Amino acid sequence: MKAIVIITGSEFVQGRKQDKNGLFIAKNLFERGVDVIGIIISPDDLYSLTNYIKYALDRSDLVFISGGLGPTSDDITRQAVANAIGVALIYHEEWLSKLKTEYKKAGVEITQERKSMAKIPYGAAILENPVGRACGFIKVLDDVKKAIVALPGVPSEMEPMFYNALDKLGLKEKKKFTQLYRVFGIKELDLNYLLEDVKNISYNFSPKGVDIFLWEDNEKEFLQVKQKVKERLGSMIYAEDNTEMEEVVGKLLKEKGLTVATAESSTGGLIVSRLVNVPGSSQYVLGGLVSYSNEAKINILKVKKEDIEKYGAVSETVAKQMVENVRGIFGSDIAVSDTGIAGPTGETPDKPLGLHYIGFTDGKETKVYKEIYKGSRNDVRLYISQFALNLIRLYLTDKERSFNNG
């Protein structure tokens, strides 16, 4: 059985947001033995989405669509499905009645736009939304033995509705067992050597490290492989799902009741920005200083001018003073700093592009790590921010740092 996933939203095709629903849907379909042959990102354009649905129906047995079921003018999934298969949209009367009741209780007028969230293609079966107001649907095309599944774009709404759809389609049972390990702190070649005896494995390398995907058809074999990989990678594993490093660090800081501050140069505030992306971060992030210029390092962070002149802004000495002084300024329990050359210019004979010094202190001990990472400017900045966050993670989990990245 083949499937194509369609993700709707102009924000995705314009690079304003990164899709994660496609990953979730594809992974779960793979586990159930469905061959996902493509993921399509469609803008909020009726003509484009209609044609993508037709394309997907021509080439697959199942079409999963996520997004575009709300009440606004750019929510066009219902109409696109109806256009693609040549049926009318009708109201699901029970869902419409539920919407009227909810809006009345909230003292909100139920406009035609809000009523549209109860519309489904003729002959479709409703997928009730357990937490939202837009219903989804399954439309089975009996004549060609194909089906279209339409789901909201909000993950908290989409995921339970997706599992409900799998049940209705007879795809509840898992046929493959999978595991994701997110890893930071090992070179690509070293990782290949370390796991060369693992058969069903794939890698996704990025400045954030490596995402390792395992799969097996046999559950017993899967558990054995999973344990083997976990033992070999050890503390390099920072997540066993799609959790980001900043979420892992945030959870640990909350659990330990500790606070953090940052002093950044090359990363330009990316470290603290990632930390505060996590809800509840005000409990542990006290602040961050972006000391991009030498003057800022001297005047705000109180780095010694003579040390900058002697060793340069990109040096172990400066990174050490930055991290210790920012901790003192904010009164945090721990702190991190970075200073480096992100490129594409700025290198010298003894300081190559990608060179960084990352400082860490808990007030009792300060360590500065030298790293050289080659890549585009923003890839370098992202890698260094990941490196700094990982130092915090390892400290909070009492793990010894042993990085071999290059």
* Phi and psi at residue 93, to the nearest 5°: -60, -40
How confident is residue 401, by pLDDT bands cut at 50, 70 and 90?
very low
Do residues 288 and 246 make contact, with C-beta atoms less than 8 angstroms apart?
Answer: no
State the Cα torsion 183-211-203-270 to the nearest 10°: -90
Domain spanning 177-239 has what CATH number?
A: 3.30.70.2860
Residues in the chain: 406
pLDDT on residue 402: 41
Element (H, E) at 304: none
Which CATH architecture fits 2-168? 3-Layer(aba) Sandwich (3.40)
pLDDT on residue 406: 35
pLDDT in tens, 5-37: 999 999 999 999 989 999 999 999 999 999 999
Do residues 284 and 259 make contact, with C-beta atoms less than 8 angstroms apart?
Answer: yes
> Over the chain, what is the mean pLDDT?
94
* Phi and psi at residue 122, to the nearest 5°: -55, 130
| Range of lowest pLDDT (31-40, 334-343, 347-356, 366-375) | 347-356
User: What is the distance of C-alpha 306 from the center of its chain?
Assistant: 43
Do residues 76 and 123 make contact, with C-beta atoms less than 8 angstroms apart?
Answer: no
Tokens representing 129 are: 């939304």
* DSSP code of residue 399: P
Asked if pLDDT for residue 314 goes beyond 90, the answer is: yes
Neighbours of 90 (CB within 10 A): 14
pTM of the model: 0.77
Averaged pLDDT for residues 224-253:
96
Neighbours of 218 (CB within 10 A): 11
How confident is residue 347, by pLDDT bands cut at 50, 70 and 90?
confident
Kindly list the domain boundaries of the chain, sorted by start residue.
Answer: 2-168, 177-239, 245-396
Asked if pLDDT for residue 405 goes beyond 70, the answer is: no
pLDDT on residue 404: 40
pLDDT in tens, 111-120: 999 999 999 9
Do residues 88 and 61 make contact, with C-beta atoms less than 8 angstroms apart?
Answer: no
Share of the chain above pLDDT 90, in %: 91
pLDDT in tens, 177-206: 999 999 999 988 899 899 999 999 999 999
Asked if pLDDT for residue 269 goes beyond 50, the answer is: yes
Do residues 353 and 341 make contact, with C-beta atoms less than 8 angstroms apart?
Answer: yes
Cβ-Cβ contacts under 8 Å for 9 (sequence gap 6 or more):
17, 19, 41, 42, 43, 44, 67, 68, 153
pLDDT on residue 336: 98
For 245-396, which CATH class? alpha beta
